Amino acid sequence: MKIAVAMSGGIDSSMAAIILKEQGHDIIGITARFLPESSTYNSLCESSINDAKRIALLYKFPHYEFNFSDNFQKRVIDYFCDEYLSGRTPNPCVICNRYIKFSEIINAAADHGCDMIATGHYAIKKENNGRYYLSMSPDISKDQSYFLYMLTQEQLSKSIFPLCALTKRDIRLMAEERDLPLKDKPDSQEICFIPDNDYISFIERYTDTQYTSGNSVDTTAGGSPPPITTQHTSGNILDSKGNILGKHNGIYRYTIGQRRGMGISAKHPLYVISIDAKNNQIFVGPREELFINSFETKDCYDMKYEIKDEIKAMIKCRSTQSPVEGFIIRVNDRFKVKFTEPQIGISHGQSAVFYDEYNDIIGGGVIDKTYSLTFPE
């Protein structure tokens, strides 16, 4: 079996390739260019590609480069910016995995005669009666199953996760034993197209956001004109009773649960509790107003099995969150979810992933509506 290994230039994907090579598999390395040529971060991309090439040369397997930047820009970057400008908090890695990494790379691998692809994700692939699904990694702190819940059955059938039963400590030790050139390379913590983690500046540069003052953000550093142009003005900050407490300077600067940086004063701490993009308003309130009893997703993704009747599951609404108990039912093309105990930090645009008692992914969806009172009939 010939396997194409998606290599980012990091230690995880490098060790995935080495493990398969040492097991005797016929492998090739594939590294994708995702960032537009005009990106100010392309030097980091070049460095990652060179690191992947070093490993391929050291372990004597072919390495190929592909440019997916056009599709990445449309599917991931445009989506990311549009979601923030619409008052939602997106997860671009989830979209990238389904529509870029496990789509484009599978096609590229097939062009080179490969039957399967492998990645350095920390997740366990399982199969039962011809249906594929994922389970959490034993290294919960590094588990990446949450980011993979949108993968299709076809994508899963052609994917291998060599790090499935390993922890990050295992990988570091294995790299040390082999004196790997990348053994001390730090993990990447940021979104790949915003390595400095400054979302606001990126969105302003990329979308050429303009303010009521008439001053536009300088986008010349990016080279080509931005694909999205939007007029995003200042608006009101209100409490839950409709009292105006101040002004915001663009809803994309705010996220649910945010406490600092709002420029308003009060006798008690105030948090962003909702964002009304249609009317360009932000609502704030005390911490107790953050609690959500239930929510709906705008879509349905099934993995281990198709959710039909109401089920009890563990629900993860952020990648860094521990799953919490709740009940899920499918209504047409939406999941309706009710928590056993109210939760905070639930944001429109984020993904909700459902796990069973075996830590297997049942399914998930993108959060579209949230409710702080009774679950809607």
- pLDDT by residue (tens digit) across 209-237? 433 333 333 333 333 444 444 445 789 99
Q: Which of 226, 279, 237 shows the shortest CA–CA distance to 259?
A: 237
Q: How confident is the model at residue 105 (pLDDT cuts 50, 70, 90)?
A: very high
pLDDT at position 16 is 98
Catalytic annotation, residues: 96, 192
Residue 329: which H helix or E strand, with range? strand 324-331
Q: What is the dihedral of CA 178, 179, 182, 184, to 10 degrees?
A: 120
Q: What region, left, alpha or beta, does residue 129 occupy, with left being phi > 0 and alpha being psi -120 to 50 degrees?
A: left
Question: What residues form DSSP beta bridges with 231?
Answer: 210
For the chain, where do the domains classified as CATH 3.40.50.620 start and end?
Answer: 2-177
For the chain, where do the domains classified as CATH 2.40.30.10 start and end?
Answer: 291-371
pLDDT at 375 over 70: no
- DSSP symbol at 372: S
Please answer whether residues 370 and 295 qualify as being in contact, where contact means their C-beta atoms are separated by less than 8 angstroms: yes
Q: 3-state DSSP call for residue 206?
A: helix
Give the separation between CA 321 and CA 156, rounded to whole angstroms: 24
pLDDT at position 164 is 94
Topology (CATH) of 233-290: SH3 type barrels. (2.30.30)
pLDDT at position 232 is 59
Q: Which CATH number fits domain 2-177: 3.30.1490.390, 3.40.50.620, 3.30.70.890, 3.20.20.70?
A: 3.40.50.620
CA distances from 97 to 145, 177, 336 (A): 11, 31, 24
- pLDDT by residue (tens digit) across 167-183? 999 999 999 999 999 88
For the chain, where do the domains classified as CATH 2.30.30.280 start and end?
Answer: 233-290
As its CATH architecture, domain 291-371 has: Beta Barrel (2.40)
- pLDDT by residue (tens digit) across 15-55? 999 999 999 999 999 999 888 766 656 666 788 899 999 99
